[in-house]
Amino acid sequence: METARNQGSVANAPEGGWNALIDDVVGGRWVNPESGKRAVAPYESIVIAESLEGREAELVADLALGGSHTVVADHATWEAMGARVAGALEKLGPVKTILLDHPHADMATVAQLTEKLNGAEGVVAVGSGTINDLVKYVTGLDNRRYCIFGTAASMNGYTSTTASITLASGLKVSLPSHAPAGFFVDLGVAASAPTYLSAAGFADCLVRSVAQVDWWLSHRLFGTVYSNLPYVIQERDEIELNRRAEGIGSGDVAANGYLYRVLTLCGLGVSFTGMSNHGSMGEHQISHYIDCFAGAEHPGTLHGQQVGVGVLTMARLQRQFLENATPPVMKATRIDVGDMARRMGADIARQCYTEIQPKIFSDRAIGALNDKIADLWPVLREELKAFVIPVDEMTRLLTAAGGPTTARELGVPPHFYREAVIHCREMRNRYSFLDIAADAGILEDFVGGEV
In tens, the pLDDT along 119-169 reads 999 999 999 999 999 999 999 999 999 999 999 999 888 888 889 999 998
Q: How much is the average pLDDT of 295-305?
A: 96
Write out the residue limits of the CATH 3.40.50.1970 domain(s) in the chain: 10-193+228-273
Residue-level pLDDT at 7: 44
Rg of the chain (C-alpha set) = 22
Residues 6+ apart with CB under 8 A from 24: 30
Q: Is residue 66 left, alpha or beta, with left meaning phi > 0 and alpha meaning psi from -120 to 50?
A: left
pLDDT band at 39 (very low <50, low <70, confident <90, very high): confident
The CATH code of domain 10-193+228-273 reads: 3.40.50.1970
At residue 42 the predicted structure's pLDDT band, cuts being 50, 70 and 90, is confident
**Alpha-carbon separation of residue 8 from 202, 208, 318 (angstroms):** 18, 26, 36
- Tens of pLDDT along 353-381? 999 999 999 999 999 999 999 999 999 99
CA 408, CA 164: separation in Å to the nearest integer? 25
What average pLDDT is seen over the chain? 94
Mean pLDDT, range 333-337, rounded to an integer: 97
Interval 16-21 mean pLDDT: 94
Write down the pLDDT at residue 11: 52
- Is pLDDT at 43 greater than 60 in this prediction? yes
Strand partners, 162: 176
Within 13 Å and on the Cβ side, how many CA atoms surround 417? Answer: 25
Q: Which residues pair with 174 in a beta bridge?
A: 164
Provide the phi-psi class of 17: left if phi over 0, else alpha when psi is between -120 and 50, else beta.
left
The CATH number of the domain covering residues in 282-447: 1.20.1090
For residues 430 and 276, what is the distance between their CA atoms, to the nearest angstrom?
11
Q: pLDDT by residue (tens digit) across 200-236?
A: 999 999 999 999 999 999 999 999 999 999 999 999 9
226: Cβ contacts below 8 Å, ≥ 6 apart: 215, 216, 218, 219, 277
Residue range(s) of every CATH 1.20.1090 domain in the chain: 282-447
Check whether 332 has a pLDDT greater than 90. Answer: yes
Determine the Cα–Cα distance for residues 273 and 380; give it in Å rounded to an integer.
Answer: 23
Contact between 432 and 281 under an 8 Å Cβ cutoff? The reply is: yes
Q: Could you give the 3-state DSSP secondary structure of residue 129?
A: helix
pLDDT tens for 49-79 read 999 999 999 999 999 999 999 999 999 999 9
Average pLDDT score over residue span 407-417: 97
Give the list of residues 6+ apart from residue 168 with CB closer than 8 angstroms, or none. Answer: 106, 107, 108
pLDDT of residue 1: 39
Report the percent of the chain where pLDDT is more than 90: 87
